Amino acid sequence: MAQKPSTPKGTRDFSPVEMARRNYIFDTIRQVFALYGYRQIETPAMENLGTLMGKYGEEGDKLLFKILNSGDYLRGVDPGLLSEGESLRLATKICDKGLRYDLTVPFARYVVQHRDELQLPFKRYQIQPVWRADRPQKGRYREFYQCDADVVGSDSLLNEVELLQMVDLVFRRLGVRVSIKLNNRKILAGIAELIGAPDKLIDITVAIDKLEKIGLDKVKEELAERGLGSEAIEALVPVLGISGTAAERLAQLADILSSSETGLKGVEELRFVVDSTEALGLTAELDLDVALARGLNYYTGTIIEVKALDTPMGSICGGGRYDNLTGIFGLPGISGVGISFGADRIYDVLTALELFPSDATRSTRVVFANFGPAEAAASMKIIKTLREAGISAEIYPDSSKLKKQIGYADSIGAEYFAMIGESELADGTVGLKRLADGTQTTVAAEQLADTLGH
Amino acid sequence: MAQKPSTPKGTRDFSPVEMARRNYIFDTIRQVFALYGYRQIETPAMENLGTLMGKYGEEGDKLLFKILNSGDYLRGVDPGLLSEGESLRLATKICDKGLRYDLTVPFARYVVQHRDELQLPFKRYQIQPVWRADRPQKGRYREFYQCDADVVGSDSLLNEVELLQMVDLVFRRLGVRVSIKLNNRKILAGIAELIGAPDKLIDITVAIDKLEKIGLDKVKEELAERGLGSEAIEALVPVLGISGTAAERLAQLADILSSSETGLKGVEELRFVVDSTEALGLTAELDLDVALARGLNYYTGTIIEVKALDTPMGSICGGGRYDNLTGIFGLPGISGVGISFGADRIYDVLTALELFPSDATRSTRVVFANFGPAEAAASMKIIKTLREAGISAEIYPDSSKLKKQIGYADSIGAEYFAMIGESELADGTVGLKRLADGTQTTVAAEQLADTLGH
């Protein structure tokens, strides 16, 4: 036989069981998004390269999957580019389109393109795959789904409050205990201002982030290596020492940042978000973490990151506020805030903690045996009544050996194997075998839908 | 301002209203698939080009979207190919992957790749976009969704019966009156055999198909032009004359094809399918059409095509049996039968006939006014109770002018606009305005979920 065909490197097929589990996650997220008034949109898999290039840094440009133009794509291309080493420059000549790299840039493009039809605030959610030409490795794929909810056109912090409620509800419904880390870009700016190193924001957060792991002295060393003066480092020490609940940390930060208008604004914003959210009752713990900086150049206010408590997995959800999403497409002044759920990692968390409900993978409830044409015809009529009652059912299509038929019912996770043989056909009954425990009963055919309905 | 960004030619964004309508179609199809025991899979957007090339004819190869290899993709490429006119040959050197063109070839690849894990029969459905570099025109897009259900590994005609029931149920649930055309490739082969022109199958069906439009004489002329001898044409006349119900036509065909074993086998297969399906009670009319030949080189048994009766739209669903789906990947002997729903055309049919239920486009049921911080905080608490009762609700995030807030609620199709102002805050009530007719009531805050629940 020829070589087995396969999916491209870094991409996956999803089997029925995997799909059922993935849909359990997607449906949970989708239902929460809708409950909070977010509305679904979809954008095309391809965007014009001009929409994508330059939005994810130089490295990101390289990771964009580019789509070769149709037809005679070499026509008019400078022959000088047709040589080794000119790959990236040639690419933009022979490719006009690329696959989307995330859902945020396409959303920004969407808002600008459709701004005349949009009523602001616009609360949208989007659950679609994205593609990145990353080197595939464990848990990192070249095609994966993102589940994003964003609201644009409103500066209100109530949006942040709702997004936190949504995060909390999604993970409550999934049964995953999480910690929600919070920060505010303005607090980070205030800290940098305070220690006189506004250009060292990233270095500072990277170092702070290691505090628990390597201790204060090592953090100080690292900060020095990163070019911070000793005065700046000493000024940072009180920040490193804040502790307690989110409210307590905010009080300490307000003290420390009392001279920074920006810093205080960040504390005030975060206090509103924390107080309002907690007044509404949250299951998850809110954890103020001044080292949290995800996509620093991007966020301008609140920053959110979610981790599972009971299994090590990195971030499974994150987001924040950005003040100028659509500025890159020439429409300034539209603020937004959003969150993104990482479906693949959530899948891994639910797998590790065995949190998928058993009925999430059930497909057909009843498989009917096939004992031959007459029995099959009678079974099809009963199956029709089951389906009309909303009960998924099917007949094994061929009159194969019974063992094979039961094996099939087992393999797809059916609840029952139903048998209408010669004698059942004669007296209008159905033999019903519960596959989990093998118990067998006989039910009047016309009672079957009722019996299974409960 | 910079030039408005846009989606690539032939691709579309879907707005919240469009998504709600599309989901209504997808959900209807998905629920029917599941009710009949079909299980969802997904395959990656990209396939290796080797998987796709040569499967859709020479024209199809040109319509595949090819993905440029990452990194220095020109390395090692014969410089002779780097010149105009060599576009297609170069493409296969600098592109290893392409976007899927349909769901059938990826499914065949899936079955072969995963054959050791699969229990046959395997009933799968798949609802995903496909991409074709066709010239965009009205109703033809470069990205569109297919909704396919196929069963492989079973020769039983009960599969055909179930697929017809599924087609019938989908369109019944959508409220679309359809005609289901049926044919069988073996009948076509029998006809070609009968008139001594087995290589003229396509010419024959194309000509027969025009019978109603151009009349018998013109059809005869066309057949002669297509190279059929006068004897063959005269032998075809009885076939052109069959009429009546599906059962009547089958009886006439059995007469005409009495000398063709293949033809009679086709009649017998179709008779079983028609009789069994009608015994189970179908809403749609089954229409035996010997001119029906969709993808002739592909199907080997039953051929199915569905058209809407009340609006001209071409085929909105089609399918059939193929005996060697996986042979192209070196795994022979696996028979399959399936159907594919065209979501875009079904969307257009439902739009033309105004069949979308009004609640298919509703998003949030209740939008709460925002009169300021205290009122907003109180509203958020009430909203929480609504959401806990499964009622989608949101607060307008900013305390803008009331007119703007109501305008927003209107624009998203909310059912109610709820107001908690100073006086409602004082006496624990909510002002409730039904947006459809402007009627206004006052409800005790703790009664609100119950009031809206009905």
Q: Which residues contact A76 (CB under 8 A, 6 or more apart)?
A: none
In terms of CA atoms, which chain B residue is nearest residue A374?
B276
Cα(B301)–Cα(B319) distance, integer angstroms: 10
How confident is the model over B410-415, as a mean pLDDT?
93
Exposure class string for B325-334: b at 16+ Cβ within 10 A, else e: bbebbebeeb
Please write the tens of the pLDDT for every residue from B137-185.
888 899 999 999 999 999 999 999 999 999 999 999 999 999 999 999 9
pLDDT at B1: 45
Q: How many CA atoms lie within 13 A of A231 on its CB side?
A: 5
How confident is the model over B306-333, as a mean pLDDT?
91
Helix (H) or strand (E) holding A321: strand A315-322
CB distance A106 to A99 below 8 Å: no
Cα(A221)–Cα(A230) distance, integer angstroms: 10
Q: Give the SS3 label for residue B391.
A: coil
Question: With bands split at pLDDT 50, 70 and 90, how would you rate the model's confidence at A1?
Answer: very low
In terms of CA atoms, which chain B residue is nearest residue A155?
B398
CB distance A361 to A351 below 8 Å: no
- A-chain CB neighbours of B397 within 8 Å are 121, 151, 154, 156, 158-159
Question: With bands split at pLDDT 50, 70 and 90, how would you rate the model's confidence at B454?
Answer: low
Q: Give the SS3 label for residue B260.
A: coil
A440–chain B nearest CA distance, Å: 22
Cα(A94)–Cα(A105) distance, integer angstroms: 22
A343–chain B nearest CA distance, Å: 15
pLDDT at A71: 85
Please write the tens of the pLDDT for every residue from A108-145.
999 999 999 999 999 999 999 999 999 988 888 999 99
A256–chain B nearest CA distance, Å: 28
CB distance A250 to A240 below 8 Å: no
Instruction: Point out the residue among A117, A143, A154 whose CB comes nearest to the CB of B45.
Output: A143
Q: Which two tokens stand for residue A312?
A: 């090590």
Locus of tokens 């005269």: B234
Question: With bands split at pLDDT 50, 70 and 90, how would you rate the model's confidence at B2?
Answer: low
**CA dihedral over B275, A393, A388, B184, signed as positive or negative:** negative
- B-chain CB neighbours of A369 within 8 Å are none
Helix and strand totals (H; E) in chain A: 17, 16
For chain B, give the longest Cα–Cα distance.
95
How confident is the model over B117-142, as a mean pLDDT?
94
**Phi then psi dihedrals of residue A127, to 5 deg:** -125, 100
Q: Give the SS3 label for residue A281.
A: coil
CB distance A274 to A160 below 8 Å: no
Helix and strand totals (H; E) in chain B: 17, 16
- The runs of H, that is alpha helices, within B226-334 are 230-240, 246-256, 261-279
Instruction: Point out the residue among B66, B154, B395 whose CB comes nearest to the CB of A398.
Output: B154
Instruction: Point out the residue among B48, B72, B90 whose CB comes nearest to the CB of A8.
Output: B48
Please write the tens of the pLDDT for every residue from A191-229.
999 888 888 888 888 887 788 788 888 888 988 988 888
How confident is the model over A407-413, as a mean pLDDT?
94
For chain A, give the longest Cα–Cα distance.
94
Q: Which residues contact B451 (CB under 8 A, 6 or more apart)?
A: B432, B443
Q: Which two tokens stand for residue A315?
A: 């971030």
- A-chain CB neighbours of B329 within 8 Å are 2, 4-5
Report the DSSP pairing between strands B39-40 and B122-131: parallel
pLDDT at B356 over 60: yes
pLDDT at B296: 56
Task: Report which of B252, B276, B278, B279 is spatially closest to residue B263, judged by C-alpha positions.
Answer: B252
pLDDT at A440: 96
A443–chain B nearest CA distance, Å: 21
In terms of CA atoms, which chain B residue is nearest residue A95?
B68
How confident is the model over A166-187, as a mean pLDDT?
96
pTM of the model: 0.94
Q: How many CA atoms lie within 13 A of A274 on its CB side?
A: 24
pLDDT at B409 over 50: yes
pLDDT at B138: 85
Task: Decide if A48 and B8 are in contact by the 8 Å CB cutoff.
Answer: yes
pLDDT at B403 over 70: yes
- Give the number of beta-carbon pairs within 8 Å between A and B: 308
Q: Is the peptide bond before B373 cis (omega within 30 degrees of 0)?
A: no
Cα(B125)–Cα(B134) distance, integer angstroms: 25
Helix (H) or strand (E) holding A164: helix A158-174
How confident is the model over A16-35, as a mean pLDDT?
96
B181–chain A nearest CA distance, Å: 22
If one compares A263 and B83, the residue with the highest pLDDT of the two is A263
Helix (H) or strand (E) holding A195: none
A4-to-A427, B113, B311, B326, B331 alpha-carbon distances in Å: 50, 6, 45, 11, 9
Instruction: Point out the residue among A2, A45, A363 whose CB comes nearest to the CB of B330.
Output: A2
pLDDT at B51 over 60: yes
Instruction: Point out the residue among A82, A124, A329 whose CB comes nearest to the CB of B82.
Output: A82
Task: Decide if B113 and A7 are in contact by the 8 Å CB cutoff.
Answer: yes
CB-based burial label for B32 (10 Å; 0-12, 13-18, 19+)? buried
Q: Is the peptide bond before A121 cis (omega within 30 degrees of 0)?
A: yes
A33-to-A166, A362, B279, B377 alpha-carbon distances in Å: 7, 25, 44, 20
- B-chain CB neighbours of A27 within 8 Å are none
DSSP one-letter string for A127-154:
EEEEE--PPPBTTB-SEEEEEEEEEES-
Task: Decide if A37 and B13 are in contact by the 8 Å CB cutoff.
Answer: no
Q: Which of B1, B19, B32, B42 to mutate to test the interface with A (most CBs of A within 10 A)?
A: B42
Exposure class string for A75-89: b at 16+ Cβ within 10 A, else e: eebeeebbeeeebee
B78-to-A69, A93, B81, B85 alpha-carbon distances in Å: 20, 19, 6, 14
Locus of tokens 């593609």: A131
Task: Report which of B335, B352, B289 is spatially closest to residue B139, judged by C-alpha positions.
Answer: B352
Give the sheet arrangement for strand A336-342, strand by strand.
Answer: A39-40, A122-131, A143-152, A336-342, A315-322, A302-308, A178-184, A285-288
Helix (H) or strand (E) holding A223: helix A211-225
CB distance A115 to A329 below 8 Å: no
Q: Give the SS3 label for residue A182.
A: strand
CB distance A359 to A187 below 8 Å: no
Instruction: Point out the residue among A8, A40, A51 whose CB comes nearest to the CB of B44.
Output: A8
Helix (H) or strand (E) holding A294: none
Task: Decide if A71 and B87 are in contact by the 8 Å CB cutoff.
Answer: yes
Q: Which of B27, B33, B118, B156 to mutate to test the interface with A (most CBs of A within 10 A)?
A: B156
Q: Which two tokens stand for residue B183?
A: 């044919």
Question: With bands split at pLDDT 50, 70 and 90, how would you rate the model's confidence at B380?
Answer: very high
A444–chain B nearest CA distance, Å: 20
Task: Decide if B8 and A133 are in contact by the 8 Å CB cutoff.
Answer: no
Q: How many other C-beta atoms lie within 10 A of the C-beta of residue A227? A: 11
Please write the tens of the pLDDT for every residue from B250-278.
999 999 999 999 999 999 999 999 999 99
pLDDT at A2: 54
B357–chain A nearest CA distance, Å: 18
Task: Report which of B361, B411, B352, B412 is spatially closest to residue B21, judged by C-alpha positions.
Answer: B361
Task: Decide if A43 and B364 are in contact by the 8 Å CB cutoff.
Answer: no
Angle at B19 between CA A23 and CA B380, to 5 degrees: 80
Looking at this protein, which amino acid is placed at residue A371?
F
pLDDT at B262: 95
CB distance B107 to B150 below 8 Å: yes
According to DSSP, the residues that pair with B336 across neighbouring strands are B152, B322
Cα(B253)–Cα(B247) distance, integer angstroms: 10
Cα(A397)–Cα(B330) distance, integer angstroms: 25
- A-chain CB neighbours of B6 within 8 Å are 48, 109, 113
Residues counted in chain B? 454
Task: Report which of A448, A428, A415 is spatially closest to residue A378, judged by C-alpha positions.
Answer: A428
**CA dihedral over B191, B196, B198, B203, signed as positive or negative:** negative
The overall average pLDDT reported for chain B is 92
- B-chain CB neighbours of A2 within 8 Å are 329-330
Task: Decide if B37 and A85 are in contact by the 8 Å CB cutoff.
Answer: no
Complex confidence, ipTM = 0.94
Residue A354: left (phi > 0), alpha (psi -120 to 50), or beta? Answer: left
A224–chain B nearest CA distance, Å: 37
B216–chain A nearest CA distance, Å: 41
Task: Decide if A384 and B165 are in contact by the 8 Å CB cutoff.
Answer: yes
Please write the tens of the pLDDT for every residue from A236-276.
888 888 999 999 999 999 999 999 999 999 999 999 999 99
